């Protein structure tokens, strides 16, 4: 199986030493995205879970688009959440990025902290358009 490591100049700047995504066979593994500005991986968009979730999803959309995929091709998502009191608010934003009735399978993991002080992070497994 061929493996292709993807780093995009147009994607959100990376917060660490990793690829934006990796193509392996028919699958695309998208690195967890943070709620940071696309051109500044050290600056959170805000402290509220709604604003942070929107930015994470926008950053994921950028990576998916650059890799030749989209939210309609996402098979699995993993959400990392610092405060489970934010679960319902995060879900309301998260689900708005997918077609109704076509949500990917998902795991939501409670964590004690995330890079750059974020409240939420999401990574994905997708196929290609």
CB 6 within 8 A of CB 24: no
Q: How far apart are the first and last CA of the chain?
A: 19
Q: What domains can you pick out in the chain, each with its CATH number?
A: 3-126 (3.30.1330.40)
Q: Which pLDDT belongs to residue 16?
A: 80
Q: 76 — phi, psi (to 5°)?
A: -150, 140
Distance between CA 46 and CA 88 in Å, rounded? Answer: 18
Q: Which pLDDT belongs to residue 129?
A: 65
Question: Quick one: CA dihedral 113, 119, 125, 129, positive or negative?
Answer: negative
103: how many CB neighbours lie within 10 A of its CB?
A: 14
Q: What is the dihedral of CA 61, 55, 57, 14, to 10 degrees?
A: 60
Quick one: which of 18, 57, 92 has its CA closest to 8?
Answer: 18
User: Computed over its alpha carbons, how large is the radius of gyration of the chain?
Assistant: 14
Q: Which pLDDT belongs to residue 9?
A: 82
Distance between CA 97 and CA 103 in Å, rounded? Answer: 9
Question: What tokens were used for 33?
Answer: 């995205």
pTM of the model: 0.94
pLDDT by 10s per residue, the chain, length 129? 899 999 988 778 887 888 999 999 999 999 999 999 888 888 899 889 999 999 999 999 999 999 999 999 999 999 999 999 999 999 999 999 999 999 999 999 999 999 999 999 999 999 986
């Amino acid at each position: 199986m061929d493996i292709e490591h993807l780093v995009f100049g147009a994607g959100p700047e990376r917060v660490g030493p990793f690829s934006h995504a990796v193509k392996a066979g028919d699958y695309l593994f998208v690195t967890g995205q943070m709620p940071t500005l696309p051109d500044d991986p050290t600056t959170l968009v805000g402290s509220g879970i709604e604003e942070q979730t929107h930015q994470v999803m926008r950053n994921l959309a950028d990576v998916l688009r650059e890799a030749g995929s989209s939210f309609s091709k996402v098979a699995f998502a993993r959400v990392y959440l610092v405060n489970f009191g934010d679960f319902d608010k995060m879900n309301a934003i998260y689900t708005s990025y997918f077609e109704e009735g076509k949500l990917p399978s998902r795991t939501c993991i409670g964590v004690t902290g995330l890079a750059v002080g974020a409240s939420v992070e999401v990574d994905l497994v997708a196929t290609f358009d």
